[in-house]
Structure 1
């Protein structure tokens, strides 16, 4: 990814406007082709590409947008990483869906949240369990992460696949995923996550 050296005020302005646009779209469930046309729009937008034009070519702007702030968007809406401060909305916290699937006595262990994929350690005061989560397109990554934990932990890891808005995971796909999870010795659960407003700062 070409690194664009920008004055802080311009970088902040560009990222704030960009994430406001992204936040108004169902970005996390859009296909690559659907996303592609927005890259062109944003490069031509005076508030985004117009401000970047003094520092980079249009081709490199596109690569920077795709491999920088837009690649990091999934982490940013979890409140993770340097781009998180620019988001206009974030996903509900893991505490919420953790208690939905395991019960109110379960909590995220402080300072245990990590990434690649998003994960944490949970406890009910007696037992600790590894939990990782992501959208349906991350299922393979979630399985690999959980299996790596399963070989060294006594408790069964949990994979959480979440949906957003009107997103639906076909029953046949869920059946296959459950079969894979069972074969690998991990638990699989599905949840619907909420969006929460966030003020960029």
Structure 2
């Protein structure tokens, strides 16, 4: 599932509320929000529309907005480590080598999780592009059709898994790949997690 960056959504909502407090309830103009967030018009509109969908603001799409009769929606969040591009070692080692942390809504998290930064183009038809963050639940088990983080004899990879007579098949979702490139039958496989959510930073 593609989502907007929640930290930016929260920061935008906080800016709007702070501005209104400092200006006797008057909301900032669209251009002022864009300048504060350093966003283009198209990206800013996307974020404002999402805040409207979340019930945080009233936005007409014509350059003005309000929070009249509404309070800033608060989210319980948790800090999840961004492990980077390659997952290896024990869970204890993973946090030690984390490149950073990201606060995400608690409701997204199922058990122990980490964030993996996608690279390559093997899953573009599933919406996964280079640089995207994938929220992954730590587990050594996966069912047919789930997208997994797997460690094989050739290294770490993100693929959709299928089981054929107990044998794993890792499937890439890129129509430009040949049939041989799309399906991998690893000799060694260690499932390190199952993808829960795709986070795009627009």
TM-score in terms of structure 2 length: 0.25
Higher fraction of strand = 2
For the pair shown, the structure with the greater C-alpha radius of gyration is: 2
Higher fraction of helix = 1
